Amino acid sequence: MALIFEADRVTFDGHCAIDEAEALLAWVRDADTRGLHPLFDLSKSTHVHTALVQLVMRATGRVSTPETGLLSLCLRSVQARGSIEGK
């Protein structure tokens, strides 16, 4: 699995495909129910399907972005506008 789920954090590792979306949605809903402000750690990701990115952006939590690449630029731009919170 490319997503590693912990109580208050999910780590995206390597290639994160669409087949991870259902599990991520369930985890996000559970975190919301428990009132968590989780960390979405994308720093180790090499590819993240847009459905997963949309779930991260919809969630209430902090985001750790990859160091380089298009995903990093996009997420940092969204963070700068205040739509998502940085790590």
Per-residue pLDDT tens over the stretch 36-76: 999 999 999 999 999 999 999 888 888 998 888 888 888 88
Reported pTM: 0.86
Domain definitions of the chain by residue range? 3-86
- Residue 60: the pLDDT is 83
Q: Which residues pair with 63 in a beta bridge?
A: 40, 86
Q: How confident is the model at residue 11 (pLDDT cuts 50, 70, 90)?
A: very high
Q: In whole angstroms, what is the distance from residue 21 CA to residue 35 CA? A: 21
Say if domain 3-86 classifies as CATH 3.30.365.10.
Answer: no
Asked whether the predicted pLDDT for residue 86 surpasses 90, the reply is no
The 8-class DSSP code of residue 35 comes to T
| DSSP line for 32-49 | HHTT---EEEEEEEEEE-
Smallest Cα–Cα separation from 15: which of 44, 43, 45, 42?
A: 45
Q: In whole angstroms, what is the distance from residue 50 CA to residue 61 CA? A: 18
Asked whether the predicted pLDDT for residue 84 surpasses 70, the reply is no
Cβ-based burial of 10 (10 A; exposed 0-12, middle 13-18, buried ≥19): buried
